């Protein structure tokens, strides 16, 4: 005996199937002649290019690989900045994966709708799918282009290529779609619903940490593969270049602490040495100090922090530092005072330092995302217009009084608004003697420090910042988990 419930369920399923078939028949009946080969060719080219771009972006996302040939470091064309933003995800799923799904559906429907050995009804249904998918891709393209231009103020070249293909395909379908007006509006309405789901998922979803982690399991083995970055000398750039040329394995000249004694000599030199000898004097003094420093065991008076698997080494005492030189944990941070992800990551590091009872010190290497002082940046974003000046000011304060550097560093990262250089200079003048500060800035040494920071930045691959660098691990991009940060520091920091 058949139950009433079973009969009702069967009837309900039959009614649903009838409704679906009725909707499909409505689309098919309201269709014109199928498009010819020119339309198919344009759509095919757009789909192929868009699929290629999406596959590449998805691959770089899944493998944490750098995006080739697309700029970095804060310029308008900056794929890494776009790819590392929260807008690159939808509920935790890379949007390149969603785009690839749409383009593959579009490609499948286009093949089915264009090959004559499929029945005409199947081909008509396929063109309905093509039209709907093209409209969905076009609306999504407008959304993502607006995000890049208005919100992020960076563009991803590969994204723009895919979006351009979507928009070209959309215009093509508007001009040559086989659907009549009512069916076109219905397809557009379905596409708009899809866009709404995308937007809601991105706007209201819980923000995701946007970072990638690089591991260095095979540290540099031989001494020739290891580089010790020394800060710049207090001599001329020509002398600095000469010293570096004399020792290719170490980024010499000697550290600032060794050369700090030269600050006591200028007046003495001017009195007791003729002007012809003044140029040679700093080089002679620096050479002598290199020899003396080499004779002192590294463990006796220096604390060395390695990054990139040991390939790059820094003397903690010779670089701007927040925290104590003898803190239990030390790592290296690259940042820009004008960089929003850097500001958020700074807060995470600050809270992690509190959780570690201040047993954390951070070597701070400001890396301006400004082409004026960073050749890795091709086009400077207006948001980073004063990056060079702010970075040099921070270094200058550290040089005048290392104990006051943390105060300025913390002040510049407070809040969400980047301070102007004028305001930062006024703040710095309350921390150190303003005449000494002006003299330090005028000396050009802070400029050389920034050049060294940029050189290290290029050695570690340039690209997105912030970079939090440990001996065998680097965290690149915004990081907001305090617990995660504490765990990484305890396991990775030296």
Under the banding of pLDDT at 50, 70 and 90, the label for residue 135 is very high
pTM as predicted = 0.58
Q: What is the pLDDT of residue 216?
A: 73
Which of the two residues, 297 and 289, has the higher pLDDT score? 297
329-335 and 360-366 strand pairing: parallel
Under the banding of pLDDT at 50, 70 and 90, the label for residue 37 is confident
Distance CA 267, CA 277 (A): 14
pLDDT at residue 27 is higher than 80: no
Q: Which two tokens stand for residue 446?
A: 């802070």
Query: How far lies 288's CA from each of 47, 278, 284, 292, 400, in Å?
Result: 66, 16, 6, 6, 25
pLDDT at residue 163 is higher than 60: yes
Which of the two residues, 87 and 24, has the higher pLDDT score? 87
Report the C-alpha dihedral over residues 66, 71, 73, 77, rounded to 10 degrees: -120
CB 228 within 8 A of CB 313: yes
Under the banding of pLDDT at 50, 70 and 90, the label for residue 166 is very high
Beta strands in 155-265 (DSSP E): 211-215, 227-229
Under the banding of pLDDT at 50, 70 and 90, the label for residue 286 is very low
Q: Cβ neighbours of residue 476 under 8 Å, at least 6 residues apart?
A: 84, 211, 212, 213, 214, 463, 464, 465, 466, 467, 468
pLDDT digits (tens, 9 = 90+) for 385-394: 899 999 999 9
Q: What is the pLDDT of residue 188?
A: 87
Which of the two residues, 151 and 180, has the higher pLDDT score? 151
pLDDT digits (tens, 9 = 90+) for 55-100: 999 888 776 576 877 765 556 787 877 887 778 888 878 899 999 9
pLDDT at residue 399 is higher than 90: yes
Q: What is the pLDDT of residue 245?
A: 44
The residue among 248, 249, 240, 231 whose CA lies nearest residue 455 is 231
Which of the two residues, 210 and 360, has the higher pLDDT score? 360
Architecture (CATH level 2) of domain 213-492: 3-Layer(aba) Sandwich (3.40)
Q: What is the pLDDT of residue 275?
A: 37
Q: Cβ neighbours of residue 75 under 8 Å, at least 6 residues apart?
A: 154, 369, 371, 377, 378, 379, 380, 381
Fold of 16-208: de novo design (two linked rop proteins) (1.20.1440)
* pLDDT > 70: percent of the chain: 73
N- to C-terminal Cα separation, the chain:
77
Q: What is the pLDDT of residue 456?
A: 93
Task: Identify any residues that bridge with 77 across adjacent strands, giving them in sequence order.
Answer: 155
Mean model confidence pLDDT for the chain: 78
Q: What is the pLDDT of residue 253?
A: 28
pLDDT at residue 404 is higher than 50: yes
Backbone angles phi, psi at 77, to 5 degrees: -90, 100
The stretch 425-449 carries a mean pLDDT of 95
The stretch 424-431 carries a mean pLDDT of 95
Under the banding of pLDDT at 50, 70 and 90, the label for residue 282 is very low
pLDDT digits (tens, 9 = 90+) for 246-269: 443 333 322 444 333 333 333 333
pLDDT digits (tens, 9 = 90+) for 195-241: 999 988 888 765 555 667 777 765 544 444 556 666 776 655 555 55
Which of the two residues, 175 and 1, has the higher pLDDT score? 175
- Please state the domain extents for the chain: 16-208, 213-492
Q: DSSP for 10-48?
A: HHHHHHHHHHHHHHHHHHHHTB-SPP-HHHHHHHHHHHH
Q: Cβ neighbours of residue 354 under 8 Å, at least 6 residues apart?
A: none
Task: Provide the H-helix boundaries in 223-279.
Answer: 237-246, 256-259, 266-272, 275-278
Q: What is the pLDDT of residue 477?
A: 85
Distance CA 39, CA 31 (A): 16
pLDDT at residue 244 is higher than 50: no
pLDDT digits (tens, 9 = 90+) for 459-482: 888 888 899 999 998 998 888 888
Residue where the block lists tokens 């199928």: 34
- The dihedral sign for the CA sequence 335, 337, 339, 340: positive
pLDDT at residue 105 is higher than 70: yes
CB 478 within 8 A of CB 344: yes
């Amino acid at each position: 005996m058949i139950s009433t419930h079973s009969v009702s369920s069967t009837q309900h399923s039959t009614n649903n199937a009838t409704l679906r078939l009725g909707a499909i028949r409505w689309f098919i009946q309201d269709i014109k002649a199928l498009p010819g080969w020119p339309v198919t060719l344009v759509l095919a080219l757009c789909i192929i290019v868009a699929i290629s771009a999406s596959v590449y972006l998805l691959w770089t996302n899944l493998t944490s690989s750098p995006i080739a040939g697309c700029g970095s470091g804060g310029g308008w064309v900056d794929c890494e900045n776009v790819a590392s933003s929260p807008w690159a995800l939808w509920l935790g799923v890379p949007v390149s994966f969603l785009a690839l799904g749409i383009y593959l559906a579009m490609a499948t429907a286009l093949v089915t709708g264009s090959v004559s050995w499929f029945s005409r009804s199947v081909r008509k249904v396929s063109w309905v799918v093509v039209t709907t998918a093209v409209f969905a891709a076009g609306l999504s393209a407008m959304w993502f282009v607006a995000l890049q231009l208005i919100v992020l103020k960076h563009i991803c070249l590969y994204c723009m290529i895919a979006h351009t293909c979507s928009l070209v395909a959309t215009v093509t379908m508007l001009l040559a779609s086989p659907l009549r007006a009512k069916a076109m509006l219905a397809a557009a309405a379905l596409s708009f619903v899809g866009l709404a789901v995308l937007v809601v998922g991105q706007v209201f979803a819980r923000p995701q940490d946007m970072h990638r982690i690089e591991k260095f399991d095979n540290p540099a083995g031989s001494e020739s593969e290891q580089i010790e970055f020394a800060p710049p000398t207090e001599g001329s750039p020509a002398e600095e270049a000469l010293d570096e040329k004399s020792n290719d394995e170490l980024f010499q000249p000697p550290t600032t602490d060794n050369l700090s004694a030269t600050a006591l000599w200028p007046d003495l030199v001017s009195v007791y040495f003729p002007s012809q000898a003044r140029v040679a004097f700093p080089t002679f003094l620096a050479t002598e100090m290199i020899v003396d420093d080499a004779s002192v065991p590294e463990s006796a008076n220096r604390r060395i922090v390695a990054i990139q698997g040991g390939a790059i080494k820094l003397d903690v005492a010779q670089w701007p530092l927040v925290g104590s030189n003898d803190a239990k944990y030390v790592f290296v941070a690259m940042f820009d005072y004008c960089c929003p992800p850097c500001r958020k990551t700074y807060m995470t590091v600050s809270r992690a330092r509190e959780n570690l009872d201040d047993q954390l010190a951070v070597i701070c290497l400001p890396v301006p995302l400004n082409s004026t002082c960073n050749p890795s940046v091709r086009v400077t974003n207006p948001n980073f217009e004063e990056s060079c000046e702010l970075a040099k000011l921070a270094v200058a304060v550290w040089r005048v009084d290392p104990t006051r550097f943390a105060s300025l560093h913390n002040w510049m990262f407070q809040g969400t608004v980047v301070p102007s250089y004028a305001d930062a200079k006024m703040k710095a003048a309350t921390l150190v003697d303003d005449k000494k500060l002006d003299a330090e800035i005028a000396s050009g040494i802070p400029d050389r420090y920034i050049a060294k920071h940029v050189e290290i930045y290029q050695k570690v691959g340039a690209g997105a910042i912030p970079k939090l660098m440990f001996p065998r691990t680097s965290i690149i991009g915004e990081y907001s988990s305090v617990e995660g940060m504490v765990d990484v520091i305890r396991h990775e920091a030296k």
